[in-house]
Structures are given as C-alpha cells and as structure tokens.
Structure 1
Amino acid sequence: MSEGIFSRYAPLAWERDLRVLPIEPGDKRPAKEISGWPGYLAAIPGAEIKTAWLSRYASNGWGVLLGSKIAPDHQLVALDIDDDRLVKPTLAVLGINPEDPSYCAKRGMKGLTVFMRAPKKGFKSTVIEGAEPLGNIDVLGAGKETVMPPSIHPDTGKPYENLGTTLLEADLALLPELTKKQVKLLKVVFGSPHVPTLMRGELTHIAGLEFAAQLVSAGASDQEAEALVRALLPVDYKGDSLKELPEWLSSARDKGYDQREGRGPSLAQAVMEVAVAGCVELFNDGDRNGYASVAAESGVVTYRVNSEGFKTWVRYQAHKALDRPVGAGPLLEAIAGIEAMALFDGASYVVNNRVAGDDEIVEIDLGTSDGRTVVIVGGGWRVSQEPRSKFARGSGYSALPEPVGGGKLSDLQELLGLSMENFLLVIAFIINALKPGGPFFILLVEGEQGSGKSFICEIIKRILDPNKAGRLRLPDNERDLMIQAKEYRHLNFDNASGMKAEMSDALCALATGGGIAVRKLYTDGDLHVMSFARPFVLNGISGYVNRPDLMERAIPLKLPALPENTRKTEAELLAAFEAILPGLLGVLYDAVSAALRNLASVEPPRHLRMADAARWIKAAEPALSLEGELIGSITEAQNEFVLERINDDPLVMKLRGLAVRRALEGKEGPFVGYVADLFTAFGEASKGLPPTPSRLSHTLKRLRPAMEKAGVTVEFLPRDRAGQKVRVTVDRSRLEPTFEQD
C-alpha cells in the first residue's frame, strides 16, 4: 500500500468535520484492532487517539464513516453501484450530471460510488436488488463506511480514483439530495424484469410498455421516465421505444396506473390461487429454497419457484384461467407468495440436480417433458415414469435420450480419436461423475490448439448433463463458482488459464463437497451457506494448475494435436455422437449397476488421495472388462503429472541446487537446521520462491507429499525456542543434470 495515505488524508478530513478510519491492508474494512468503530460517528476522535492512529496507521488506506453531519438537518450518504451497467440509469434517476461541480464520486474495480446528502431523520441504509442478471445498489447511511481514494483496492491492487469534485474539496451542503421518492423509483427500476431487455435493445416494445406502467405507478414524471429509458437503451439503439414512450405513459395514466399503487395484489392473489391449484406439490429443500412440482404430459416436472421456467408456467396458467395477460408486478408478487407457502407450509426434501441416490440405488433425470428417469440398482437399470427422487431443473437444462442396451465404448473412442491410455482416463472420469454424491475426480485436459480438447469436454458434458450452457468460463471468485454449482450438475470450464490460490482451493472444495458462507444482504447479518460437490472438467493449453492439492484430486489428460488430414467438422462429429449416445448410455449405466453391486466388497485404492472416488470406479471396472485398468491409468497419469509440475517448481529446483552446492563444498548428508537458516542459505530472493521464512515453512508443508515423489524429502523436527527445525534430504541420483550445469 502506498506510503502515508492515512496520515496525509485523515487530517484534511478531520478539518472538514468528517469521520474517518484507517483501513485494514488488503481489505475494505476498518483496521481490525479498532473495535466498535461505528461509535466514532458520534464524535471525531480526541487528540490522543488521532496521534496514535496517525503513527500506527500512517501508510494504511482511509475510509469515511457515512452519516457524518454535513448540514443542520442532513447527513453524508452514498450509493454504491456494483454493476457498470447501472451507473448511467442511476444517475438519470438521481438527476445528476457528471459535468456539474456538485458531482462527487469514486470508483474501485467496477461500478461507482456517488456521494449525496440525505435527511438525518427517517433515512435508513438499504439494498436495491437488481433483476437478474443485474447487480445491486447499496444505499449506505449511518453506521456504514466506504474506502476512499487513493487507498489501494484489495482485488485490483490499484488505487481507488476520484470522479468529479473530491469529497475533501466539495461543498458538502450542496451535494445532490437523495429523496425517498428516488430510492423508491430506483427499486422499481432495477427490480423490474423488463430493464435487462431494454438494456439489450431487442424486443423492447412489450417490455417498454409494461415498464412505462411501472414508472407511472411509482410516480415518475414524463421527463424522468424519458431520461431513464434513454439511459437504459444502448447507445446504438435504432428502435422506436423513445418515440412510443409518451403514448405508453399516457395510456398507463388513462388506465389509472398513477392511482392504483397498492391495488395490484388483487390480480396477484388471483394469479397465486390459479398457480397453487395447478401445482402437484409445493416443498422446500431445507435451505431456504422453494420448489413446485407441476403436472407435465404423463409425468411430473419440478422447478425452483424463482426460476424462469416456473414463472413462464405461472403466466401460462394465469392466462388460461383469467383470460388476460399478467404483468411483471402481479407475477412477482404471486411468485413471492408461492415461495412463502413452499418454505413455511411445504415439506422438506433433498432436491437433486440430474443425479440422485446412494450406495444402493442411482436415479438419473432424463430431462424430458414427461419427467422420466433412469433407475439403476445392482441388478440392472430401467426407465421409470414415476421419479423416486426430487429433481429440479435449472437454466438451459436439456434432455438425454432414452438409453438402450448393446452399445460399445469403442464407438466413443473412435469418435474422439483418443489413445487407449487417454480413453481409459475419460471413461474413469465419466463413471465417477455418475456417482450420486462426491467426492469426484477433476478432469484436467491439456492440449495445444487443434488437439480437440474443447470438443472432447463438450461431449463429456452431453453424456453427463446436457445443457445449453455447454462451455463455461472459470469464474473469478468462489461465490460465483458455487452459484454455477447450484445451477449445473456437471460443469465444463473452457480455456482455463492462470489460477489464483483461492480459486484452486475453492475447486478442491467443490470436488470433495465443501462450501462457503456469505452474508445474504449487505445490510444484515444473515449468513447464507452454499455447499455442493460436483464433477467438473477444466481445459486449457498447459500450466494452469500448479498446486499439489488440486493435482492429487485430478485425472490429468494430455492431448496431442490432431493430424490435419484426419479432422472432421464439429457438425459431422456431433451427428455421429447423437447416433451412438443411447447405446453408450446403456453401457455406462451397466457400469453404474456393477459399481452398486460390487461397492461393499471392493477395497478402496488407498494409494490415491481420492480413495472413495477411486473405489466407485474400481467397483465398476468388471462390467467394462477393465479390471485394474481404470485405476492403474489414473495412478500412472497422476504420478507423471505431479512429477512434471513439481520438477519445474522453483522451490524444488532451489533445494536441489542447494544440495549440489553443499556437495561441492564437501558437506555430505541432508540439510538439518532451522527454517530461517534454510531461507538464508537460498541467498538472494528470486521469482517464485517464498518471500519470508514463515511462508517457506508453509510452502514446505503444502508441497511435501509432491516433493517426495520427486526425490526431495522434508521432515519437520521438534520445534525449540529458536524456531522450527527441518531435515531436507535430496535424492543424489537426480542431481546429475544440475552438476553438469554448474
């Protein structure tokens, strides 16, 4: 963090009677040593505390406590807009011109935070939730703080920047005023499902018509509505919505929308009653998610109550029963009521995504409109019209064909053009992925351009969990990862590249069944826990995985480039795949049946870290006439992969180099000493090495199992008062290349 940020800016803020706090390095919260920090809103710290803070936190960033009094009856507030797409329309609602001298804002990684004033009485912090896929706006008042420029953003490593007049220069009493009407209008605007449609600039007529009615109900004037819609539409929009808007607004007022706020629930109640009458069952998963089962052809289909699929079903049922279209407002009110019934009146069940079961039975949702499933037991499999388990279908959910007997795995090998070694690894992963619960091996696919890696991964996805979102980008954070895991049973991450340690840890947790706990809303203390175990594939050119804990959970697949004269078009390959898929599913489900039949009598392959996952694969091998081959191929591929990565690790190379140097100096035997001594023995710091003795100790512990495979053994000896001792032994037979280089 830059030197002197807090010591420079805090005194300037105190002079303006603003309440400020030092920020914890690498975070957005106040320094962790400062407890009860919201209490500093009541008064600026005394001289003694100021002096202590300026000394101790001189180089920290600084943050402003919102709620500071800036006029006799007004306080300093802020709108934290976390989505770039919301900035322009938000400023339009607020009537703020970025060219105006009163404009005062700052920016971090995305969106914008704009400073305003609000009445001290009756103002509360709140969250304005954006309709999917938009972000939220946090309205921040007393008791909240925000990090100020030029503090360093913890995610980007770059300074926050000021926009417009800075907070230390602005006439605070002239900041734009935030009114209750504006907050209400913002909630209407960004909670509307029609806003994303207007932002795309496609099929805007119906969306614009209904959105205009919402604006009229919220009390927006024609000028406010015009400015807002103009801000929402794309810059290059060439449609007629702006021309038609006055007529839409006039029509909404003629229909009484400007006087019927609060009269909507009658229609919402009617929609709710129609929908509930058409549901087979309302229930929940015990984790605050409501579900509805509805009749479909000759079966039953289950939806999450908040899903687009269920909303479409409700619209259709209401249209049939009420003989009128249902707008967004009544629909959302009806959905909220149905969800409450599912959560508080419905039973709780385990809700599954595509695959359900235990060690005795596996059930697979085919995704068909009649709700058929495949039921697999130790004696075989059958297609059932009556699901035994509760399945929910997320966005883009697609159907599998009905499986048939008589298929051949060799058809898939021929289609994909894989060597036997690589094909065994693919089959091992697919069999493991059909296990009803984790842990799951991770399939890591590496290959240069033209190796067909993306196509192979998509075929695996189509076998396990077909979805319109066949290829995903690896998300930036664990929260988004868990949201994707909630939506999809199998995840296919395409073109992975450099991976942060935090994401590597999150992927390990996803493979074995970990989760995260996050606050549901910025303004409350409610925690929402997301925990899933999912099979998934990562593909990339090379080198995107380098942490041993992820390597040891993986099935690594290395693909050579395909000869150009043997390539077929993707359309040809997909047509051939669809032809063999029913028989291929039959073979794979035979293997799952064998796994269920043999699981209790099979000893786990304890030499593999993922022993439970490997046990399932081993139990399935007899059905494929591959006894020992699948587990053997995983073991061999893992050993080669870990050795290749660990041999190139800077720490391993440094330890080997140290052993060479000691041998040349006549020092035989292992290195024995404190971690700090080992760190010093490395000499000058170099790229890739731990920067401190404590980090070196942590890295040695983390890499120890992998380094042992490379002939570098690390033993941690008893700690004494001087520190932690280690013994490092290097296999001398692997040092010859290093001797030659020296």
Structure 2
Amino acid sequence: MADKLIQPTTVDAKKAARKLCDKELQQGYQPSGFYEYTDKEGNPTYWRFRMDHSDKEKWIRPLSFNGGKWELKEPNFPNGKKPLYRLHEIVNPPEETVWIVEGEKCADVLSKLGLLATTSGSATSAGTADWSSLEGRKVIVWPDNDEAGRRYAKDVTKQLSQRNCNVRWVDISKLGWSVGSVGSDAVDWKLLYPKATKEDVEELLLINPESDDTPAPDSHQGNSSPQILGQITKNCELFHSPDRAGYATVPINSHKETWLLESAGFKDWLSRRFYQTARTVLKSQLASDFISALQGQARYDGDEHPVFIRLAKKNGHIYLDLGDDKWGVVEISAGGWSTIHNSPVKFMRPNSLLRLPIPERGGTIDELARFINIKDDDLILVVGFLLFSLNPEGPFPILIVQGEQGSAKSTFCRVIRKLIDPASALLRSTPKNERDLMIAAKSGWLLNFDNLSHLSSAMSDSLCRLATGGGLSTRTLYTNAEETIFQATRPICLNGITEFASRDDLLDRALIIKLPPISPSKRREEKTFWEDFDKAYPKLLGALLGGVSEALKNLPNTQLADPPRMADFARFVTAAESAFGWSDGAFMDAYKNNRDLGREIVLESDSVALALLKWNPDSWDGTATELLGELGKHVPDDVVRSLFWPKSASALSNRLHRLQPAFREKGFNIEWISEGKGNANKNNRDLGREIVL
C-alpha cells in the first residue's frame, strides 16, 4: 500500500508544489493542472501536476508525502503498480461503463458530464498502472488523435484484455475533426461541441479494437451514406408486432427505446445520429429508402413481439411505463411493486405521452376525494375504475360522468387521466368516426372524451367494442382494397351535462357518476388546485399500485356469488378491497346500486320503454304488430311520428331484445314464442313470432 496521507490535504500539496518548483516558476512556467490520485476509499495517495510555458513546453511531475516530507516522486506502490485516476469513483457501481482517456484533464471533462472516467496518466503509463479494479468491466477507450494516442489505446486494451474486460474504442475518425487536428482529444471535442451532454458522448460511434484498425490521424477515409446508416443501426433490434408493423429497439445511453420504424421519432433519431457521425444532413429520400429496407427486415427477418402503450402484462406481473427519460417502469406483482429499468416488455411512446411521478408508499386513496367533486358513496366506484384501468387485459367498464354546468366534470376527468396516464391533452373532443377513435386509441391508454351532448348508435357500439377488446377497422388511406384493423382494449371515460348515453349495451357496461353542485365557497383557483394535486400525486399513485398488487395476490381465492356482466372487473376490484380497508362486499354493494341506476336510464331514455311502463299490463300476448299498435295508444302522436319510434314489427322486436335485460329487472318478462306449422293463418309480416308479456 502506498504511504497514505493523514494530515496533508490537496491545499497543502499545492503549497508544497510551489515551493519545490520555485525555479521553474521563475523560468516562466505557470501551473495549469493539479490532480489528486486516491485509493478505493477516496484517501489521497499522491498528486500529479502540470505547468506550461509560453513557448509551448510542458512540465509534468508527481508529488507525494513520504516520511514526513514532500517529494517530487511517486510513493512506493505494491508491485510497482500505481492507482488509476479517480479510482474511488470508478470502483462503484461495477455494472457501469468506464471511459478511459489519455490524461487527467480529459477524464475530468467526461466526469463533469456524469460519466465514470479515468486514466493511468501519460501516453506511456499503461504498463505501470494497476488495472485490477476494472476486472470484467465494460470499458470504452477514447484515443487522442495522434500516433501516441493510438499506441496508448492499444496498450490499455492489452492490459484490459487480460482482465476479461469488454473493450470498445471511440471511432475518432467520425468526430468531425478538421484538417490539422492531430493530437485532438476529449477536451478539444468538448470545446468543439460546448453544449454536448453525457447522452451525446454515449452515442458516439464505437469500433471493436480486435477487428478494426484505428484510422491514422487526420485520415478522411469516409464511408458512403448507406454504410454509415448501417453502422448506426447495427445495434438496433428489428422486429414486428402481431399486426406486422415494423419496430426498432434502439440502445440509447444506458437504456433502450422502442420506436415504430415509420414514426417521425425514429427518423429524427436516425437523422441526428447521421449528422453526429458524418457532419452532414441526411437527405430525406435516402432516409425514406433506408427505413423502407429496415421495414422489410423487421417484417420478414425479425422476431414477433407485442408492443404496448403505458401498461403491459407478462408472466403474471403488470408493468407500468413511467414515461421518464430512462424508460423506467413499475413492476407490480402479488408480492408488491417496485421501479425497475430494462423493461422485460416492449413499450412504445406516443408523442402525447407524459411522465408519471416516481410513486411513493405511505399514502391513502381517501386523499383522492380532495381532488374530485364526488359523493362519498361513489368514491369506491371511481377507485375501482382506476384500479382495473391499471390491469392491461380488460374488458373495461366505461366511466360516465354527469353533472350540471360548473360541477367540475372536466377537472374530475383530468384528475382521473393524469393519475395513471398523463398526456399533453388530458381531454379529447368526441370522435367523429371510427377512424378518429382508432387514432385516439393509438395515442394513449385511458381515453377521455369531454363535454358530450349526444352519442350516435354507431359510436356507442364502437366505444363498447374498444372497451371490451373488439377490433376497429377502416379503409387504409390512399388505397381502395386494403383495410386497417386495430385490435386493442382501452378504459374509457366520458363526461357531459345531459344523459347523452342511452344505448343499453353501453349503459350495461357503464359506471355512472353524477356529480353534485359545488358551492362557491368550495371553489379553488386552478393553479393552487394543481399544485396541491402534484404534492399528493406520488402517494396517490403508490396507493393505487398497492391496490393492484393486493388484487393480484387475492384473485386466486376471490369468487363472486352472483357475477354481474362485467365479472372480471368486479372480481378484480373485490380482490383489492383489503388494501383500502373496505368491508367485504363493499364494492359489489356499490356496483349493484350503480347498475340499477344504469337500467333506469336505459328505460327512461327510450320511448318504447316509457310507453310500456305507462301502460304497465299485468299480462299480454299477441304479435309484434299488435303490440306496436297497443303501445302507440300510450304515447303522444308526435312521438309515434318521430324518428325514434319503431315503424315496423321487426324494428319493435329488435328494440325489445335490447331492452329485455332492463325490463327483467323491473319485473317484465318478455318472451318470443315461435309459431307452429299449424298456425299458418298468422301474419307472416310478423316474422312468425308471438310476444308474451
């Protein structure tokens, strides 16, 4: 072990250096660098300092404290091997890449950017250094742009190869040096690109020293543009999704990102990397042609992998994309939740996707009531919707939020969306057609449609298919024969003043939340409201994640005595009840009451249902035609003439089929009885059926 400094500090060492170098100072040398070498614990072992003269001469010496006095020499090291520069920083963490440069000044430049950087000192020092601390590490060597730099890189590589290191070199021929830049190094590169970041350094092109020769200084043997593009993308994983779309998983810095090959994001990345490498702009046609070639490779040569937005499930674990710069995810299992890097599933990120906070433990879901205007009895339903929306598989209920003007419907829905799937636009206008709905579903996880006043039958059916996992289809743009199929399942939230949803299929899948009026004394300023929410945000998210974990743990032992239509949803939330201190069966009680409300809305919004309820016969049987005439007696003439009144027996029969579940809950039993062959005198226009009430 070297003589360890106990009392002297770097300040003391600088004072000692000035005294020992008084002669050189008088000759015109000026201090230009002072570097402290440490042991693994960070204790100083010796220093190296440099002085420069105006005639370009440099003077570099070691300085140590031996036997109680300062000397211009190195201390005695075990086996004559001296420690690496910044040794205490590079020994931990052992999984991170270490950058090796020639000279302490270069190492300091990279270290300031956040990289683990070191050196053995001068160009001839590789053989005298102790490299054992880098055993088995991933190492990148950045040679100086001269013959001495090339030799140093080779010497370092030789030392590290004996220690099972994975060694790559920075391809200095692609750094954009100008003619006459012999001797340029990492310091000069940083001066050339003063705004360069850690990420920029980590994206520099690398070469393998075992298979590629380092180009001679000032060499300008440029590759062609396609060759450069090939180099840039050689480490990308090309694959396709089940719908045959091409993707690339791209290594960026210390993580990986997944991009749709035809996306603007991938093209931007490719253009940036090309410019960094070739110092010229990537031509648009070349980029398009090259990406088309990658598409073919991904589709026909690449593996098939599912691609997810925000949420995914694999091997019984749920993964939530945090949307942060490191592409971190939350892993949720029956044993709890934790944040991890290197996601085992492939997430893609639409342009609108925003980051979630790092979730925190110790919060309570009851805090959510501070940020949404809701009746106490309905909070359990909203929490249930949020919980199941964090389950990637569905089928999902549709959350319908109603209330008078000023009841904070839009704020309510923004909070719901931001809690689990923040986006640049938290609310959307009503989609005009299935293509618009498909675009919305490709842009996020939880779909939030604001201020609805009417929902067409076609759009109501499309929303039901999307919430339950049915496909959406539309003609592919610029083609006549091709069809685009979008297969996905999404949680959906709708809000409006009126009871805009009336289709029984949708309402049978819905959670209906009616917001109470807000008194003026309880209104808050927007800025203050969101500041308070952001403070509570991490713990609210953590509480929800805890509920999902509890559901995964309890699901195998959770059964419902009388499963409703949305049985998967009800069973999942019931399994999570213990996470929030709810009593057994509390959710199902609230859900049953809410479903009763939905059935009332179905009946009250349908003219045929209102006529039958007004008539209210004890029993009746007859044909559909006869029933249509009887019902018409119980509504005004203008209703019978309206577009909403059935005009034929078949239309009435179809309407009654849809209303049958709601009528059954009201005590009406509607049956369709086929006629026998002996009843040939029945009117065939009645579809051969009798309706018995």
- For 1:277, give the aligned amino acid: K
SS in structure 2 opposite 1:317? helix
1:25 match: none
1:419 match: 375
Structure 1 regions of 5+ residues with no counterpart? 1-265, 661-668, 730-742
Structure 1 position 611 matched with structure 2 position 611: no
1:371 match: 327
- For 2:242, give the aligned amino acid: G
1:342 match: 298
- For 1:330, give the aligned amino acid: L
1:89 match: none
- For 2:510, give the aligned amino acid: A
CA-CA distance at 1:295 after TM superposition: 2.4
Query: TM-score of the superposition, structure 1-length normalised?
Result: 0.59
1:84 match: none
How far apart, in 2, do the equivalents of 1:316 and 1:566 lie? Answer: 51
- For 2:591, give the aligned amino acid: I
- For 2:435, give the aligned amino acid: R
Whose radius of gyration is greater, 1 or 2?
A: 2
CA-CA distance at 1:524 after TM superposition: 4.8
1:561 match: 517
1:597-676 mapped onto 2 (5 Å cutoff): 597-604=553-560, 606-626=562-582, 627-659=584-616, 669-676=618-625
Contact between 1:372 and 1:384, CA under 8 Å: does it hold in 2? yes
How far apart, in 2, do the equivalents of 1:290 and 1:695 lie? Answer: 46
Contact between 1:652 and 1:712, CA under 8 Å: does it hold in 2? no
Could you give the per-residue CA deviations for residues 195-228 of structure 1, whole angstroms, max 9, x where no partner exists?
A: xxxxxxxxxxxxxxxxxxxxxxxxxxxxxxxxxx
1:571 match: 527
Contact between 2:449 and 2:495, CA under 8 Å: does it hold in 1? yes
Could you give the per-residue CA deviations for residues 235-271 of structure 1, whole angstroms, max 9, x where no partner exists?
A: xxxxxxxxxxxxxxxxxxxxxxxxxxxxxxx987356
How far apart, in 1, do the equivalents of 2:500 and 2:578 lie? Answer: 35
CA-CA distance at 1:508 after TM superposition: 0.7
2:354 match: 398
- For 1:431, give the aligned amino acid: L
CA-CA distance at 1:659 after TM superposition: 4.0
Could you give the per-residue CA deviations for residues 15-40 of structure 1, whole angstroms, max 9, x where no partner exists?
A: xxxxxxxxxxxxxxxxxxxxxxxxxx
SS in structure 2 opposite 1:416? coil
2:146 match: none
Contact between 1:520 and 1:526, CA under 8 Å: does it hold in 2? yes
Contact between 2:238 and 2:249, CA under 8 Å: does it hold in 1? yes
- For 1:680, give the aligned amino acid: G
1:531 match: 487
Contact between 2:239 and 2:299, CA under 8 Å: does it hold in 1? yes
Classify 1:489/1:267 alpha carbon distance in 2 versus 1 (closer, same or farther; 3 Å). farther
1:674-693 mapped onto 2 (5 Å cutoff): 674-683=623-632, 685-687=640-642, 688-693=644-649
How far apart, in 2, do the equivalents of 1:526 and 1:654 lie? Answer: 46
1:689-728 mapped onto 2 (5 Å cutoff): 689-720=645-676, 721=680, 722=682, 723-728=687-692
How far apart, in 1, do the equivalents of 2:650 and 2:315 lie? Answer: 44
How far apart, in 1, do the equivalents of 2:613 and 2:393 lie? Answer: 42
SS in structure 1 opposite 2:331? strand
Contact between 2:434 and 2:473, CA under 8 Å: does it hold in 1? no
Contact between 1:493 and 1:537, CA under 8 Å: does it hold in 2? yes
Contact between 2:374 and 2:516, CA under 8 Å: does it hold in 1? no
Please identify, of 569-578 and 329-338, the stretch whose mean Cα deviation from structure 2 is larger: 329-338
Contact between 2:554 and 2:576, CA under 8 Å: does it hold in 1? yes
Contact between 2:407 and 2:518, CA under 8 Å: does it hold in 1? yes
Classify 1:311/1:645 alpha carbon distance in 2 versus 1 (closer, same or farther; 3 Å). same
Classify 1:359/1:624 alpha carbon distance in 2 versus 1 (closer, same or farther; 3 Å). farther
Contact between 1:267 and 1:330, CA under 8 Å: does it hold in 2? no
CA-CA distance at 1:341 after TM superposition: 2.0
Please identify, of 462-471 and 512-521, the stretch whose mean Cα deviation from structure 2 is larger: 512-521
SS in structure 1 opposite 2:371? helix
Q: Percent identity?
A: 33
- For 1:302, give the aligned amino acid: T
How far apart, in 2, do the equivalents of 1:671 and 1:654 lie? Answer: 14
Could you give the per-residue CA deviations for residues 86-105 of structure 1, whole angstroms, max 9, x where no partner exists?
A: xxxxxxxxxxxxxxxxxxxx
CA-CA distance at 1:628 after TM superposition: 2.0
Q: How well do the aligned residues superpose, as a CA RMSD in angstroms?
A: 2.1
1:183-332 mapped onto 2 (5 Å cutoff): 269-270=226-227, 272-277=229-234, 279=236, 281-332=237-288
SS in structure 1 opposite 2:259? strand
- For 1:391, give the aligned amino acid: F
How far apart, in 2, do the equivalents of 1:528 and 1:647 lie? Answer: 38
2:82 match: none
CA-CA distance at 1:330 after TM superposition: 2.8
How far apart, in 2, do the equivalents of 1:322 and 1:719 lie? Answer: 82
Structure 2 regions of 5+ residues with no counterpart? 1-222
How far apart, in 2, do the equivalents of 1:469 and 1:296 lie? Answer: 27
Contact between 2:311 and 2:321, CA under 8 Å: does it hold in 1? yes
CA-CA distance at 1:527 after TM superposition: 3.4
Contact between 1:358 and 1:436, CA under 8 Å: does it hold in 2? no
CA-CA distance at 1:554 after TM superposition: 0.7
1:87-102 mapped onto 2 (5 Å cutoff): none
How far apart, in 2, do the equivalents of 1:276 and 1:294 lie? Answer: 8
How far apart, in 2, do the equivalents of 1:682 and 1:358 lie? Answer: 54
CA-CA distance at 1:318 after TM superposition: 1.1
- For 1:528, give the aligned amino acid: T
- For 2:457, give the aligned amino acid: A
- For 1:510, give the aligned amino acid: L
How far apart, in 2, do the equivalents of 1:719 and 1:501 lie? Answer: 32
Classify 1:605/1:282 alpha carbon distance in 2 versus 1 (closer, same or farther; 3 Å). farther
Contact between 2:427 and 2:449, CA under 8 Å: does it hold in 1? yes
How far apart, in 2, do the equivalents of 1:299 and 1:318 lie? Answer: 20
- For 1:681, give the aligned amino acid: E
CA-CA distance at 1:605 after TM superposition: 6.1
SS in structure 2 opposite 1:691? coil
Query: TM-score of the superposition, structure 2-length normalised?
Result: 0.63
CA-CA distance at 1:427 after TM superposition: 0.3
1:136-215 mapped onto 2 (5 Å cutoff): none
CA-CA distance at 1:523 after TM superposition: 4.1
CA-CA distance at 1:648 after TM superposition: 4.1
2:174 match: none
CA-CA distance at 1:337 after TM superposition: 2.3
- For 2:621, give the aligned amino acid: V
Could you give the per-residue CA deviations for residues 110-140 of structure 1, whole angstroms, max 9, x where no partner exists?
A: xxxxxxxxxxxxxxxxxxxxxxxxxxxxxxx
Contact between 2:399 and 2:512, CA under 8 Å: does it hold in 1? yes
CA-CA distance at 1:404 after TM superposition: 1.2
CA-CA distance at 1:513 after TM superposition: 0.3
SS in structure 2 opposite 1:682? helix
Could you give the per-residue CA deviations for residues 582-610 of structure 1, whole angstroms, max 9, x where no partner exists?
A: 11111111111111111121114644211
1:450-599 mapped onto 2 (5 Å cutoff): 450-520=406-476, 523-599=479-555
Classify 1:656/1:410 alpha carbon distance in 2 versus 1 (closer, same or farther; 3 Å). closer
Classify 1:394/1:267 alpha carbon distance in 2 versus 1 (closer, same or farther; 3 Å). farther
How far apart, in 2, do the equivalents of 1:375 and 1:475 lie? Answer: 33
Structure 1 position 437 matched with structure 2 position 393: yes
Classify 1:605/1:301 alpha carbon distance in 2 versus 1 (closer, same or farther; 3 Å). farther
CA-CA distance at 1:719 after TM superposition: 3.3
1:130-141 mapped onto 2 (5 Å cutoff): none
Contact between 2:502 and 2:601, CA under 8 Å: does it hold in 1? no
SS in structure 1 opposite 2:427? coil
Could you give the per-residue CA deviations for residues 155-178 of structure 1, whole angstroms, max 9, x where no partner exists?
A: xxxxxxxxxxxxxxxxxxxxxxxx
Contact between 1:489 and 1:534, CA under 8 Å: does it hold in 2? yes
Contact between 2:241 and 2:304, CA under 8 Å: does it hold in 1? yes
SS in structure 2 opposite 1:293? strand
Contact between 1:398 and 1:468, CA under 8 Å: does it hold in 2? yes
How far apart, in 2, do the equivalents of 1:686 and 1:524 lie? Answer: 40
